[in-house]
Structure 1
Amino acid sequence: MSEQQDHVSKSSSSSISTSTQESEEEVSVTIGSLLAQARNDKGHSLGRRLLHLGSVPHHPRVNGEIPNVDNATLDHERLLERLGTYGLAEFQIEGDGNCQFRALADQIFCNPEYHKQVRKAVMKQLKEFRKRYEGYVPMEYKVYLKKMKRSGEWGDHLTLQAAADRFGAKICLLTSFRDTCLIEIVPRDLTPTRELWLSFWCEVHYNSLYATDDLLTRKTKKKHWLF
């Protein structure tokens, strides 16, 4: 094969690979939308349980300081008490540094193993709309993106905002903060078409949130189901 032919072949293969990756992303988002829509009534049901609490405006930010053991323990006890009070339960998410993305994947795809696809979609949002987000990052934006791209890097409140924007979802956080029980993260310039519910043990861990009865009947979709 000539160098010219080889170049054309490689270029064609690269184009096909890129097209395939983009198609997979589009399929994952589309099917995720269908799954989320199917359980959206349940999301609104959770919202009705907590309606009287109100919520605070969300301000995107990077992660804060991890609390010491004593404070973290008190925070967790507070979160568990709130879960019990409102008849909610956590689907436990693996604590491997990907918990925010795993919890979002569970809410969107009914399978936390799709966390890589969720992180990829969030990163694409952060890159494409840089001017929208870079003012919240207290470091060089390229450095932040490079760090956040890595598997195992903890998601923050900026990635939650980007996820809300990317998936057209209102993300509801039941938190362990002393003075802030519920935080709602709404997409910018979009009317949310779904609700995603997470519990947030502040600065420590995210889990996927359900009504207690719904968690008992929850079934995980097989990972190969999307593609």
Structure 2
Amino acid sequence: EREEVGAGYNSEDEYEAAAARIEAMDPATVEQQEHWFEKALRDKKGFIIKQMKEDGACLFRAVADQVYGDQDMHEVVRKHCMDYLMKNADYFSNYVTEDFTTYINRKRKNNCHGNHIEMQAMAEMYNRPVEVYQYSTGTSAVEPINTFHGIHQNEDEPIRVSYHRNIHYNSVVNPNKATIGVGLGLPSFKPGFAEQSLMKNAIKTSEESWIEQQMLEDKKRATDWEATNEAIEEQVARESYLQWLRDQEKQARQVRGPSQPRKASATCSSATAAASSGLEEWTSRSPRQRSSASSPEHPELHAELGIKPPSPGTVLALAKPPSPCAPGTSSQFSAGADRATSPLVSLYPALECRALIQQMSPSAFGLNDWDDDEILASVLAVSQQEYLDSMKKNKVHRDPPPDKS
């Protein structure tokens, strides 16, 4: 290596003398200077120093961090830089004291340091100025100590690096301005547009997710409200129906009024309904049911005519008796009696009607609801007796006495 040093290195930090000077520096002093330098850049320029890995490729790492956004792309940056130097060897070889090919081959190693020639090549290659910052005791601490310009002047953000302890480079970035991708020759490329698009997409996705969540919550609340409303409507309808039933029952009670004795002029419909219900009780219970043989009324009439009174079973087989309320019942009986020519034919309807009436219960005539049932029953019995007596008198007057000769 000493022979190579005698031949002349173009990178100052590769000299052993530089390494010896670094070892002789006080670590506390170096730490204080580093802290002051970082604070000055942040306060006066708004720049932030990003620490790069110290492996000999720190310069290429710092450039890769600002061009590609990833310091691990340093191998690509180194390769492009060396290729650019070889293509422009007639120009850059004038700044190298050693063999240019040997210099390029040595610089292609990943652990070999870069220096001024490589900075100038990268400034031209990316067409972006390269600014180098280094701490010092003067006011120029926040100003670049060296700037390498490209071939064409433009408004692109420069590549900024910081030089530490005369051996290491870090990346200096402006957090308020995007520089990644600038200098790569990408058409219609706008720095930071990708981040803005990603941010817009993220915001849009977040808003859509939030809107969907809110819509889902609204649907849940609407569903709960509809279910609650339906339950309330059902409860109101039920209460309304029950109240209507109570009102109807109350009105019916008011119309019916307190228990009062009914008049004899009740409608025939009620008497007919009572009679239909009373017919079922003829064979089971009837206070007036009695045998015809023991009937105390008109036994001589049965003996003279030779008519056997109908039994209870026979009564059920007879036709349904007419309702006492039906109009024209008495006239029909009297008309039938007047038209009869035979004693059997004339008296049978009256006997049949009398037997049926005697065996029927008062409920058949709707008398069970009356308060004066006994009075009405007695009146009805007297009326029937008078009717039968008139029938017998009419029969005696019409029939001539038998010829005794």
TM-score, structure 1 normalization? 0.60
Superposition pairs of residues 66-77 of structure 1, within 5 angstroms? 66=19, 67-71=21-25, 73=27, 74=29, 77=32
Residues 170 and 75 of structure 1, relative CA distance in 2, 3 Å threshold = farther
Of 201, 204, 209, 2:164 maps to 201
Residues 164 and 96 of structure 1, relative CA distance in 2, 3 Å threshold = same
1:155 aligns with 2:114: yes
Residues 171 and 75 of structure 1, relative CA distance in 2, 3 Å threshold = farther
Superposition pairs of residues 134-145 of structure 1, within 5 angstroms? 134-145=93-104
- Structure 1 segments, 4+ long, off by >2 Å, are 61-80, 176-181, 210-214
Of 56, 62, 67, 2:11 maps to 62
Residues 69 and 100 of structure 1, relative CA distance in 2, 3 Å threshold = same
How big is each residue's C-alpha offset from its partner over 1:132-189, in whole Å with a ceiling of 9 and x where there is no partner? 21122121111100100111111111111111011101111111356664121111x3
Of 13, 17, 41, 1:86 maps to 41
Residue identity opposite 2:84 in structure 1:
Q
Residue identity opposite 2:152 in structure 1:
L
Superposition pairs of residues 1-227 of structure 1, within 5 angstroms? 62-64=11-13, 65-66=18-19, 67-71=21-25, 73=27, 74=29, 77-87=32-42, 88-176=47-135, 181=141, 182=144, 183-187=146-150, 189-192=151-154, 193-211=156-174
Residues 99 and 170 of structure 1, relative CA distance in 2, 3 Å threshold = same
- When the two chains are superposed, the root-mean-square deviation of aligned CA atoms in Å is 2.8
Given that residues 11 and 113 in structure 2 are in contact (C-alpha distance below 8 angstroms), is that contact kept between their aligned partners in structure 1? no
Structure 2: gaps (5+ residues): 1-9, 178-193, 195-405
Q: Which has the higher contact order (CA 8 A, sep 6+)?
A: 1
Q: Aligned residues, how many?
A: 156
Residues 178 and 114 of structure 1, relative CA distance in 2, 3 Å threshold = same
Larger strand proportion of the pair: 1
Residue identity opposite 1:160 in structure 2:
M
Q: Report the identity percentage.
A: 19
Residues 167 and 211 of structure 1, relative CA distance in 2, 3 Å threshold = closer
Given that residues 107 and 208 in structure 1 are in contact (C-alpha distance below 8 angstroms), is that contact kept between their aligned partners in structure 2? yes
Given that residues 132 and 160 in structure 2 are in contact (C-alpha distance below 8 angstroms), is that contact kept between their aligned partners in structure 1? yes
Q: State the 1:212 CA deviation.
A: 6.8
Residue identity opposite 1:207 in structure 2:
N
The higher radius of gyration belongs to 2
Deviates more, 1:199-208 or 1:122-131: 199-208
Residues 77 and 163 of structure 1, relative CA distance in 2, 3 Å threshold = farther
Structure 1: gaps (5+ residues): 1-60, 215-220, 222-227
- Provide the secondary structure at the position in 1 that maps to 2:38: helix
Q: State the 1:195 CA deviation.
A: 1.0
